[in-house]
Amino acid sequence: MQRSFLAIAAATVVTVLAACTADQGVPRRGPAAAAAERCEPGLDKAFGAWAEAGFSGSIAISKAGRFECLAAYGSADDAAGRANTPETVFSIGSITKAFTAAAVLRLLDEGKLSLDDRAGKVLPELDGPVAKATIRQLLLHTSGLNGSHGRDYEPLDRDSAVAAIGRLTLAFAPGSGYVYSNAGYTLLALIVEKASGTSYRKYVAENLLRLPGRRVAGGFWSGEPAARGPRAVGYHDDGRTGERGDFRGPYWGMEGNGGLAMTTADLASWAHALFTGGWSRAGRPSSSPALATTWAAAAPRRRGGSPSTAPCTASRSSAPREAAARWGTTLWSCGFLDSGG
């Protein structure tokens, strides 16, 4: 999964999911149809100009949980001549890490984990130096874990993933530096399985993807439970299509650090529910505000003293070509803080 920047999702959530169908030098093979719904004319005009310049994707803007704009532009599938719509499903890539982090913090809230638990305590079968890293350090990419434990779309089972992660070297002593780690979030997914007593996918689907009103926010790009709905198709620079979601697993090369898929509206709704306590469990309000509070308390601080991270991923700088080569889709922005100025 490509590196992403983290930002706080609060009163305003802006989500842009893009299918990379218009890279420079690659001819468009289908219509540049636009479908704007419930968007202020000025915004639609601006997004339309972006689409004319080659953008294909879907946009959701919500404020205080109410959508102010749901729109889609360009092509979802060039070969089929299918346009993007607000219902188009995209792979959300590394934003999956936000869901994994929320799963960990929910288990913490349930008393099944502690931020200071060491990975080796939860997973006694884990060898190597990363066993001494804490859950807090894994969440914040400060465990020192460096390198890859496996390729995204190559079969890797659970035991092989544990062994591969245990063989990885550390770039520094846990807690003494920062290096972005996909393997660290796969390790967190393994911890979710052990602490919850069920599979990572089942725990995420039953506890993290259900929105208020029992609506489900997407699913997995490959395997079950799958994200339902029409999917965007991405393209490599040479015109080949990206991953279509037909990889049959095992998925532990990517589990926890990538793999989820949904619409922009679902992603925006999920971020709002996370920070406002919108999840429900057995008819009772969940403690998701406590999850956000725990994350803020765990996060390192910037020079100015404000928390630097929260569990909504924003990849404003993600390169569409790089994403297309690996995923076919990329998320450009999610979760901008509405600070009133």
Which residues carry out catalysis? 94
Q: Which residues pair with 90 in a beta bridge?
A: 262
Cβ atoms of residues 267 and 17 within 8 Å: yes
- Backbone φ and ψ for 20, nearest 5 degrees, come out as -85, 80
CA angle at 97 for the pair 96 and 103, rounded to the nearest 5° = 95
Beta strand 312-314 with 5-7 is antiparallel
Comparing CA positions, the residue from 109, 341, 72, 112 lying closest to residue 230 is 72
Cβ atoms of residues 144 and 176 within 8 Å: yes
For residue 154, CA distances in Å to 31, 182, 215 come to: 33, 15, 32
CA-CA-CA-CA torsion for 179, 182, 187, 188, nearest 10 degrees?
90
Tokens of 58: 């879907």
Q: Measure the CA–CA gap between 248 and 46, rounded to whole angstroms.
A: 40
Cβ atoms of residues 137 and 174 within 8 Å: yes
Q: What is the distance between the terminal CA atoms of the chain, rounded to a whole angstrom?
A: 33
* Residue whose tokens read 């846990």: 174
Cβ atoms of residues 263 and 58 within 8 Å: yes
DSSP 8-state symbol, 112: S
For 82, the enclosing helix (H) or strand (E) is strand 82-83
Q: Which residues pair with 82 in a beta bridge?
A: 77
275 contact partners, CB below 8 Å, separation of at least 6? 9, 10, 288, 289, 292
